[in-house]
Structure 1
Amino acid sequence: MTDAELQRSCHTVFPGHRARTPAQMFAAMSVWCEQHGVEHDVYGSGATIQAFEDKIARLLGFEAAVFCVTGTMTQVTALRLGCDDKGSPLVALHPTSHIIVHERSNYQLLGHFQALQVGDRHRPWTVADLAAVPDRLGAVSMEMPMREIGGQNPAWDELKAIKEHCRLRNVHLHMDGARLWECAAAYGKPLPEIAAGFDSVYVSMYKGIGGLGGAVLAGSREFVARAAEWFRREGGNVIHRTPYVVAAAMQFDERLQAMPAYFARTVWLYDLLRDYPQLKVNPSAPQANMLHLHLPVSRERVLDIRDQLAREHGIWLFGRAQHAALPDTSYVEIYVGDNLLSADDAAVRRALDLFTTALNT
């Protein structure tokens, strides 16, 4: 049985949103298309996609936005253009940046830009981290929140200081906002205020939103037009983007409206986890509706426990597990979405009781 099949067999699921089968997703998309009179775009031109791009731009406080089929293409293109504008090929990246960790050196092998790893891999950036760089930077890329360290964000005053630092030094400031929607509730700030001071912002249409895939890049009208042209040159100009846009647009408002509830449920989960001291939580207080649990067993052992609880008790606690720094330790990620929001409190506690008992055996 695959992980996906094992998860679907469970009645108590911790991470993420309720998964739809392809048939369920396509049926919902069909209904939405009928209700809204959707016509296919043709190479990115069409009423539905352009209205959605305009909506994202307004929501973030930018002049324009453009849909792209992958975040990987979106980000390195935005950073390369930012470097071109500023006359320096150097980009500051956090050591846990998605570009470094997951994108197989694309920026380097494809000649997009040159990267400097800046800051401590276990902490969000401070303005002092950037000020310590002696080189003239073309761009800085900030992930918000930072997935690889449990969804951490810089403190609000630190974020403002970083924005001002980049402005004064004429550096293009780009946001990897794959999970930007998850930041707003934690900061208690509106999205345009969070995005203000950034020159470009990338947001995902499938992570917290739950679409089929794709991304949107927001910025000035001139910058977005140049990025759109480069997406075409790089092979991103598929004839119909409609399926991706519809899958995101049909649930976009509902997902954004639920973000405060997801964060409140995360705060509740943190309170509950105090009763389980062997589960070490990172960050120590919630900064988004996600977290890492550091565990006193190996990655292989914790995956065995996960599968055992799924088979015997119908409980699915997490997806992937990662090796941690110390031998025979690991950590897992929990994204708090529809599943935990709707789970019975007693069922969540029972699941944690069973999990910690298994960790001790």
Structure 2
Amino acid sequence: MAAWCEDNHVAHDVYGNGALIEQFEEKIASLLGFEAAVFCISGTMAQVTALRLACEDRASTLVALHPTSHIIIHEKSNYQLLGHFHALLAGERHRPWTAADLRALPDKLGAVAMEVPMREIGGQNPTWEQLDAIKAHCRTRNAHLHMDGARLWEAAAGYKRTPREIAAGFDSVYVSLYKGIGGLGGAMLAGSRSFVERAAEWFRREGGNVIHRSPYVVSAAMQFDARIAAMPHYFRRTEWLYEVLRDYPAIRVNPARPQANMLHLHLPVSRERALEIRNRVARDHQVWLFGRAAPGALADTSIVELYVGENLAALPDQRVRDSIELLARGMAGQ
């Protein structure tokens, strides 16, 4: 990072004012087709703030969320305890939204927050036609449509559309600077200039006004173009991996076909057993099969996530096949 800064004559920003961060904000806004974007120290802060402002604009504190929304599952009820908005769950937990799910809510909505792709169900997305229908429905009801785009770059490869095409019709978009991009942390919130300016003021009120944001921005900016360019390759590798997994019927893969460069594997062993197999394979064969494991809906089953990035893309095909074979043998007690 230091060498990159020297080569590019980068100096620290001061409270967000600086050439590098301002240019990178403009770059993200342009890629997504919005007037402006602003850095935020975390996606958790960026999203609930955006939804709070959207609700103020529409005079309704109700926000429609999918049951697997990051806000519902991972953010400790912050939206509720901090008085940002009230959540209404829409749709079924195991499938992406449809416009009919939103039409089923009779209430006046301030906002609709949609994750693209939906990570907790294996990176699934609505069809392109359903996504268009959701956008049209929100316009008709005058509901602010916000995108949780933590993995938008990955979804673009799956949709075979540009991020700008996917973002068209949304009123605001949050993207992560570390998930697919590999930065140290941080996020960007894009929208109209007035909306972004208001959000930036709220970030200050909420304690997000760190004096130097440049370490986060540098770590993302220095590899951003390369990571974006690699996403189609990661997706093709995911499609290849999916075909390999079809040779192991005990491993159930979600979704039925890849829609982003991630897959969820439903395993016929308990979470504890899955972790034991992972650790043994790592110790004996120097392969890290997966990170976290979660209990499945049925007894003695578990769910693990595979994210296809640089590590898996760089592994030789046979090494990947051998690793899956080790997982299968471990589940069979061999």
TM-score (norm 1): 0.92
Tell me the distance in 1 between the aligned counterparts of 2:163 and 2:174.
13
Work out which of the residue numbers 316, 321, 326 in structure 1 matches 2:298: 326
Cα offset for 1:103? 0.2
Which AA in structure 1 matches 2:39?
Answer: F
What secondary structure, in the 3-state scheme, does the structure 2 residue paired with 1:307 have?
helix
CA RMSD of aligned residues (A): 0.5
Q: Which residue of 2 aligns with 1:167?
A: 139
CA shift digits 1:89-123 (9 cap, x unpaired) = 00000000000000000000000000001110101
CA distance in 2, matches of 1:155, 1:142: 14
1:228: how far off? Answer: 0.4
Structure 2 counterpart of 1:132, from 104, 114, 119: 104
Structure 1 residue 312 displacement after superposition: 1.0
Query: Structure 1 residue 190: deviation in Å?
Result: 1.3
1:86 to 23, 44, 58: 58
Code of the aligned partner of 2:131: L
Note the C-alpha offset of 1:314. 1.2
Runs (4+) of structure 1 moved beyond 6 Å? none
What is the count of residue pairs matched by the alignment? Answer: 333
Distance 1:353 1:243 in 2: 41
Q: Which residue of 2 aligns with 1:176?
A: 148
User: Partners of 2:216 and 2:161 in 1: how far apart?
Assistant: 28
1:356 aligns with 2:328: yes
Amino acid at match of 2:331: L
Which of 113, 118, 122 lines up with 2:85 in the alignment?
113
Secondary structure, aligned partner of 1:257: helix
The alpha-carbon deviation at position 77 of structure 1 amounts to: 0.1
Q: Which position in structure 2 is the counterpart of 1:99?
A: 71
Q: Match for residue 275 of structure 1?
A: 247
For residue 271 of structure 2, the aligned residue among 272, 294, 299 is 299
Q: CA deviation at 1:185?
A: 1.0
Counterpart CA distance in 2 for 1:183 and 1:302 is 28
Aligned to 2:170: 198
| Unaligned residue ranges in structure 2 (runs of 5+) | none
Instruction: Work out the CA distance in 1 between the residues paired with 2:179 and 2:118.
Output: 14
Q: Distance in 1 between matches of 2:237 and 2:194?
A: 40
1:141-186 Cα deviation digits (max 9, x unpaired): 0000011000000100000000000001100000000000001111
Q: Does 1:66 align with 2:28?
A: no
Query: Aligned partners of 1:292, 1:161: CA distance in 2, in Å?
Result: 27
2:228 aligned residue: 256
User: What TM-score, normalized by structure 2, do the two folds share?
Assistant: 0.99
Encode CA deviations 1:291-335: one digit per residue, 9 max, x unaligned: 100000000000000001111111110000000100000010000
Report sequence identity in percent: 71
- Counterpart in the other structure of 2:182: 210
Q: For the residues of structure 2 that align with 1:216 and 1:43, how far apart are their CA atoms?
A: 15
State the partner residue of 2:95.
123
- Rounded Cα–Cα distance in structure 2 between residues aligned with 1:101 and 1:344: 36
Residue 77 of structure 1 corresponds to which residue in structure 2? Answer: 49
Q: Report what 1:18 is aligned to.
A: none
Deviation at 1:55, TM superposition (A): 0.2
Helix, strand or coil: the match of 1:218? strand
The whole-number CA distance in structure 1 between the counterparts of 2:314 and 2:70 is 30
- The alignment partner of 1:65 has SS state of strand
Q: What letter corresponds to residue 347 of structure 1 in structure 2? A: R
The answer for unaligned runs of 5 or more in structure 1 is 1-28
1:352 deviates by 0.9
Question: 3-state SS of the aligned residue for 1:316?
Answer: coil
Tell me the distance in 2 between the aligned counterparts of 1:242 and 1:129: 41
Q: Supply the distance in 2 between the matched residues of 1:356 and 1:166 (Cα, whole angstroms).
A: 45
Q: Distance in 1 between matches of 2:37 and 2:99?
A: 28
CA distance in 2: counterparts of 1:212 and 1:234, whole angstroms: 21
Q: Distance in 1 between matches of 2:248 and 2:134?
A: 36
User: What amino acid does structure 2 have at the position aligned with 1:47?
Assistant: A
Greater relative contact order: 1 or 2 (C-alpha under 8 angstroms, separation 6 or more)? Answer: 1
